[in-house]
Amino acid sequence: MYRGEPRPGARPPLLVIAHGSRDPRHAETVRALTRRVAATRAGLRVDTAFLDFCAPSVPQAVRRLAADGVRQAVALPLLLTRAFHAKTDIPAVLRESAAAVPALRLRTAEVLGPSPLLTAALERRLRGVGLRPGDRPSTGVVLACAGSTDPEARAVIDGIAREWERTGWSAVRPAFASASLPRTEDAVRALRAEGVRRIAVAPYVVAPGFLPDRIARGAREAGADVLAPVLGAAPELAALLLDRYDEALVRVRRHQAA
């Protein structure tokens, strides 16, 4: 990370905004991911902030950037879909934070999903718990998400499941830990009732916490054969954060040139 006034030609810092959790594993995982992002792109300052429960808060992180002389930064929501947090919470807290430090201009990047890199990260996690390419035709996958009442977010998840199934899995079914149905355990049992031989649960969540634990319990209770870990600091996720950062900068340059 660099501090103070940016060097000529230096890129604006990246401020990654995570949801936050009372579970300490959440912040540890988010910070491991942001460290990987910083290590991947030398010279890029990467800061972390949380909407709730963890420190620093978004206003604290923005004030720290301003105190270090930063004049422009890219805020990136660490979210997999455009749901309530992306549409309401984060824009509101960024507006309030920017108003408090008018010398700092904040640009907001797009949420992470959907992206082929996220599917690649899911595949990596499944390989890590023993699934191999030859297992695909006999394996059904439960794409286990945190959940949202937002129809746009639900449609995105349904689309990801359909596209992923076309890569050779016996079936890919979405499930949700909250807000929507089916639950993970229901999706596992439905696949079993359809005669799917092996069932894997792939958590489509970034970091551990209450809802990922609920996904894991549901997988175990329903007798899933394989349970992958959360996406965590997968290299595909780090690459995706940098893609979203770069896309935000391109939009800034186009706006300035217009």
Q: Where in the chain are the domains?
A: 14-112+234-257, 130-227
Q: Quick one: CATH architecture of 14-112+234-257? A: 3-Layer(aba) Sandwich (3.40)
30 class by beta-carbon count within 10 Å (0-12 exposed, 13-18 middle, 19+ buried): buried
The answer to whether the beta carbons of residues 173 and 218 sit under 8 Å apart is: no
R_g over Cα of the chain: 19
Full pLDDT tens readout for the chain, 258 residues: 333 334 445 799 999 999 999 999 999 999 999 999 999 999 999 999 999 999 999 999 999 999 999 999 999 999 999 988 889 899 999 999 999 999 999 999 999 999 999 999 999 999 999 999 999 999 999 999 999 999 999 999 999 999 999 999 999 999 999 999 999 999 999 999 999 999 999 999 999 999 999 999 999 999 999 999 999 999 999 999 999 999 999 988 877 775
User: Reduced to 3 states, what is the DSSP secondary structure of residue 206?
Assistant: coil
Query: Six-digit token pair at 56?
Result: 């620093």
Q: What is the model's pTM? A: 0.93
**CATH topology match: 14-112+234-257 vs 130-227:** yes
Contact in structure between 188 and 222 (CB atoms under 8 Å): yes
pLDDT at 3: 37
pLDDT at position 252 is: 81
- The CATH number assigned to the domain with range 130-227 reads 3.40.50.1400
